[in-house]
Structures are given as structure tokens and as C-alpha cells.
């Protein structure tokens, strides 16, 4: 799985949004969350764009799992390929307004929260999870894969004439990497993904 440093994400976001500076904001006033319209916030320099993020939530998601039931009296072993359990896709939802692409939103989310996220449009369904397992007699072993799913609410602003304009807002969704493993259904574990796999397959 490809990973990349946050500095690479910063360069990517700069290329997408052409962010030139951090805005200077003065005297915010109350504004409707539903209005994509100029807000009473003075900004500088002219032409700068920026994001505001809040409400980040992370959760462990079981994306792949399959069980091997050994009903014989001898140990069986081999490669166990999993099936998709739950798909997680890097995207944006609840979008109001226009101003920035999903790619730009996810790049900003990655930088703001110091994460290593998958590009917009990337899904866990493209991942293949296979484990080489050894299954004792009359036992069940589960192979699994999973990821950390991140969501957060964003607003995107621009400064066309010295007064800030919110031109887009919504929710960003992404994931980091696939974690793989396998577990015997009869064994207790503190691993969150393993327990999710056991709950589904055992």
C-alpha cells in the first residue's frame, strides 16, 4: 500500500488549490450555516483560499473477512482469500456550493489532521487480502483486513475582495491503509479488527 509523507500532501494541495497564504480574518459576525454567501469577515490578502475543519471522527472498519472451517481430524493449511465485508471510499458528501474538488478537500483533511489518507475516489474494494493460515482439527480460522475510517466537516472560503466568502461546505471521508491478519475463533484477543472479524465469521 502506498504511503506518503505529509509534506507531499501539502505540495499536492497547493497544486490543486493554489493556496497562496494564510488569511488574516477580522471581526467575524453570525452567519447562517445554510448560506453560501459573503460573510462579514475581513480577509487579507485578496485571492487567498482556505479551509476550516471540525468534528473529526475515526472508527475501525472491517473491510474484508472470510472463514476456514476445518471439520476434519487433521490440521489444514493454505492461502485463505477474503471477501469484501464493508467498502470504505475516500470522498466528500453533503456538499453545498462549488469551489474545490473532492481531491482538494481530502488533501486539506490530510494536512489539517496530520494523517496519511487515500486520494479521493480510492476504495478499499480494490485491495486484496489473503492470509496463509493453519487450521487445527475441528477449528475455524478467520482471515481479515480492515482500516481506520476518518470523517470531518469542512468549510471552504475565498477572499475575492477583502471580505471572506464561503463557497463550499460538507463532509470529508477517507481511510488510511489496510491492516491484515488472521485469528482462530477459539482464541481471545484484544485486537479490535480481529474481534470484529470473529463477531462476523465465527
Domain ranges of the chain: 6-201
pTM for the predicted model, two decimal places: 0.80
DSSP character string of 92-137:
EEEEEE-SS-HHHHHHHHHHHTT---PPTT-BGGG---EEEEEE-T
Supply 151's cell numbers.
470523517
- Per-residue tens of pLDDT for the chain, all 202 residues: 443 344 444 445 544 444 334 455 544 444 444 444 444 688 888 889 999 999 999 999 999 999 999 999 999 999 999 999 999 999 999 999 987 999 999 999 999 999 999 999 999 999 999 999 999 999 999 999 999 999 999 999 999 988 899 999 999 999 999 999 999 999 999 999 999 999 999 9
Q: Which residue is associated with the grid cell 452567519?
A: 31
Following CA atoms 66, 118, 121, 49 in sequence, which dihedral angle do they give, to the nearest 10 degrees? 160
State the Cα–Cα distance between residues 73 and 102, nearest whole angstrom: 53
Closest C-alpha to 44, from 67, 21, 14: 21
Amino acid at each position: 500500500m502506498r504511503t506518503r509523507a505529509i509534506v507531499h500532501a501539502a505540495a499536492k494541495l497547493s497544486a490543486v488549490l493554489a493556496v497562496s497564504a494564510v488569511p488574516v480574518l477580522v471581526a467575524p459576525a453570525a452567519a447562517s450555516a445554510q448560506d453560501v454567501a459573503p460573510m462579514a469577515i475581513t480577509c487579507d490578502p485578496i485571492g487567498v483560499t482556505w479551509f476550516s475543519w471540525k468534528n473529526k471522527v475515526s472508527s475501525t472498519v472491517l473491510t474484508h473477512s472470510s472463514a476456514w472451517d476445518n471439520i476434519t481430524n487433521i490440521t489444514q493449511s493454505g492461502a485463505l482469500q477474503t471477501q469484501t465485508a464493508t467498502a470504505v471510499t475516500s470522498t466528500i458528501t453533503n456538499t453545498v456550493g462549488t469551489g474545490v474538488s473532492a481531491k482538494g478537500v481530502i488533501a486539506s483533511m490530510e494536512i489539517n489532521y496530520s494523517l496519511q489518507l487515500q486520494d479521493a475516489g480510492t476504495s478499499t474494494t480494490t485491495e486484496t487480502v489473503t492470509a496463509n493460515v493453519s487450521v487445527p482439527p475441528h477449528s475455524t480460522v478467520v482471515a481479515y483486513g480492515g482500516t481506520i475510517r476518518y470523517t470531518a466537516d469542512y468549510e471552504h472560503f475565498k477572499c475575492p475582495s477583502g471580505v471572506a466568502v464561503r463557497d463550499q461546505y460538507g463532509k470529508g471521508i477517507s481511510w488510511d491503509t489496510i491492516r491484515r491478519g488472521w485469528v482462530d475463533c477459539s482464541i481471545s484477543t484484544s485486537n479490535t479488527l480481529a474481534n470484529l472479524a470473529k463477531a462476523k465469521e465465527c
